[in-house]
Structure 1
Amino acid sequence: MSFKKIKRYFVFCCIVIFFCCNSKSNKQLQHLELGKLRCQLENDSVNYRIVCIIDGGCSLCIGDFVELNMNFLEQKDKYKFPLYYLVMTGDSVIFKSNLMKFDQELCGKLFVDTTYSLMQANQLFKESGIEVFLINKEDQIVISGNPFENTKVCHQYDDLLK
């Protein structure tokens, strides 16, 4: 192969990879697929809800989850939206026993997904073991990110709460 052909092939591969990655992240940032959990949230008559999806198989993520919960407890007067923790773990008993070690009052409702269906449907956990979303009634993602770690996300919540 000539250098020109190799260069074209390389550029073509980069373009394909770029569009594939962007199409996945655009889907993730537009709509949250809740699967079986959807029927449990349908009784909400609110316009917005916060959904935190946690990798419960990761011990560091459990510590991050406890920190996130403590932040929501401290700011519960500010963030008045219903809060749902969706934990994905292969063993819910081990996760709950690890969580009890922290002796935490939960700020939101806890749901456990032992099939990792939420992760597969939404292609989650690219950057961290916890994903935080503010979603509307139609499960459209309004804000994506942790307001306690990202000032831009915090300002987005503040603007919405005005």
Structure 2
Amino acid sequence: MSGEREEKIRVEPLTSNHDRSGFESGVEPLDRYFRTHAGQDARKNMAAPFVFALPDGAIAGYYTLSSTSVQLAELPDQTLRKLPRYPLVPATLLGRLAVDRRHQGKGYGRFLLADALYRAARSEIASFALLVPAKDDGARRFYERESFLPFPEQPMKLFRPMADIKRLFE
């Protein structure tokens, strides 16, 4: 390998240089969003899409982060006890996470989630938790295995407290 530059996989912000046309996770709403709306959301600051780029430039997966808020009344009682009594608390939304079907089963979903957790934890914007809307039962189980908790009245909406996430990176 002398003289050769070793290229690495990387997670980076989505740009117009990334080819999204061939991305296919098998979940049509996630694929359609990535191919047609992710770039526009990035330009308009509606979401921050990040891509998992392989050395050949192929996109193995992506996720989006954005700001949101949670109504205090939606949270579990044990979580409420630790929070001030504001009607809304700030949060970060992991709106979408998908892995191209050609790369599923390699741990890339967990890698993308870890990257999203790290970016959310190091943000200088106040955020009580990272929220995720699970698209189906498989996604819900994935997030529950990663220590996300369901909202009592909305089991497909999950959260992980930011204090817990920050402890992961201490």
Q: Give the number of the structure with larger relative contact order, counting CA–CA contacts within 8 Å between residues 6 or more apart.
A: 1
Greater strand fraction, Structure 1 or Structure 2? 2
- Whose helix fraction is larger, Structure 1's or Structure 2's? 1
Higher CA-based Rg: 1
Q: TM-score, normalised by structure 1?
A: 0.28
